Structure 1
Amino acid sequence: MLKKLAVIVIALIILATSGYIYINHSVDAYLSQPLTVQQEQIVTIPSGANINRAFSLLNEKGWIKPNFAEKFVRRLHPELVQIKAGTYQLLPNMSLNQAIELFRSGKEHQFAITFVEGSRFSEWREQLTKMPYLTHTIEDKSEQQIAQQLGIEQNKVEGLFLAETYHFTAGESDIDILRRAHQKLMSALDEAWQHRQDGLPLKTPYDALILASIIEKETAIESERERIASVFVNRLNKHMRLQTDPTVIYGMGDAYDGNIRRPDLRKPTPYNTYVIFGLPPTPIAMVGKDSLTAAVTPEQSDYLYFVASGNGGHVFSKTLSEHNRAVRAYLNYLRKHK
């Protein structure tokens, strides 16, 4: 009888051990399976979700194959249970186990939004509104209200954000991005102002920012920025009007249809530098660091004029007669290339 009982006990032990080995192997195989994603995918683990909810989410997306072994993961791998809410990026060839490790790490995916140099605040608002995974809070706010929320003294925020790429995690707000962009602008402006040349016709850092925004709109060629800056600085020093088209366009607002006509050049607006002397009252665009640097460290030159060359750059002139010849050459170029 005892011998028979011993045989039964041994058989049960063998059966239990075999079952454990089989289940353990099945769980390992389940966790090792590759996710069936062909490209980067975004998944959000909601607050309060546990490991089983994560499995369900991946099952619902069709990114893993369901298996009975799923229910044993918690017992065999308790270290995998604690996952963190967030929005994560899953990559092709990533295994389920790697996905779970990502959820455990809390390393959320960093989204990116890029603001181009020379763009306007109205364009920034549109970009922010269309950006997914961002919390939108400024859609119904006026520019003045946004300025107040950010602690900006000016009612207009044009030019007061640094144009570059900003990263954020899901749920971050548009005002958070603007706050960072403003802080970076002020830091870059302060640094540029501290290294400005002597004798510039700029009284404040804000003046430098206004000039930088005009430079930003006049050229996208890095090698030309300091020379363009020198033209404007020279004109300011000689009390000449800046006569720059981007300021006219900005002053026209929604009336601008892609063309500037003679009446537009004569129509007074606070921004029309064909009419006013000195700088316009505010920046006319967002700037990058290079234009800020150019505004406060212009090239030493005698140039007072410039006009497009037709090949992407500009022709610079020291006298009006030289400039008029360059203008005629440009007009001839346009006629030939209609």
Structure 2
Amino acid sequence: MNVVFSVFQQTMFFTIPLLIVALGGMFSERSGIINIALEGIMIMGGFISILFINLTQGVLSGQLQLLIAVVIACVAGMLFSLLHAFASINMKADQTISGTALNLFAPAFAVFFARILQGVQQIQFNNTFRIESVPVLGNIPIIGDLFFKNTYITTYIGILILVLSTIVLYKTRFGLRLRACGEHPQAADSVGINVYKMQYAGVLISGAFAGIGGLVFVVPTSTNFNASVAGYGFLALAVLIFGQWNPMRILFASFFFGLLKTVAASYSGIPVLAALGVPSYIYKMIPYITTLVVLVFTSKNSQAPRAEGIPYDKGAR
């Protein structure tokens, strides 16, 4: 039973950043802007926030420090995503090329400034954020062991983001307008919706979530940041497509891929898998091979917003 609890907790460490970043990509694409810069935004958000933790770990520690770092990652992601928004919306640039440029720029920026500030590209930090057991809730049989022990506050932030995203997208005027801009921006414009503002909002929300996702990915799994998020931004795009741009489907897709990543990272601690004697590189390949297979089958029935990736020209009809 302890193995089951351990695997589930590890799965949540991988699932939550995927969930947060994929939800961010959903808001951008629902507005009509493809954001493949999620990887770069994760790196930028992770770099700035982990640097903050490194510089303040002699003064701050624990949950307060982590919460402030989350806010910093959010702001850093939003500011960095403004570059993509400006290029895609104002300059009518190819959105794929714009996103690729940011993905190339972010790790170079992180490595360069890490070496300037600390002499090495790895930013070390003390992990004082793990919650051994949430008071009262951690004592609940089974559920307490699964959700409220050996956890991080970022797990609950991810769940909160999921709930808020679902409400905003389907239960608010903003969500309706955002979806309208992604499906038929000319029609949205004809009834007085400012398409450009909605697209900026979508990209900024995606930047905020991706920035947070960069921090959430690093904190539970490492004690240093090396200008990399292991391709999680691209994996989040696969989760977004697999989840068909729907928050609840994205949750299940995130958990599925998170479980595969857990198997790849912790197979030696799972007696059944360890006894098989399969080479380690096979397990490490599984998440990415599965990604390709899933995309092949799900892309045929894609429910992507109809206008995504098409620059909107207000004067065109």
TM category, shorter? under 0.3
Q: How high is the TM-score relative to the length of structure 2?
A: 0.27
| Greater helix share, structure number | 2
Max Rg structure: 1
Instruction: Considering Cα pairs closer than 8 Å and 6+ residues apart, tell me whether 1 or 2 has the greater RCO.
Output: 2
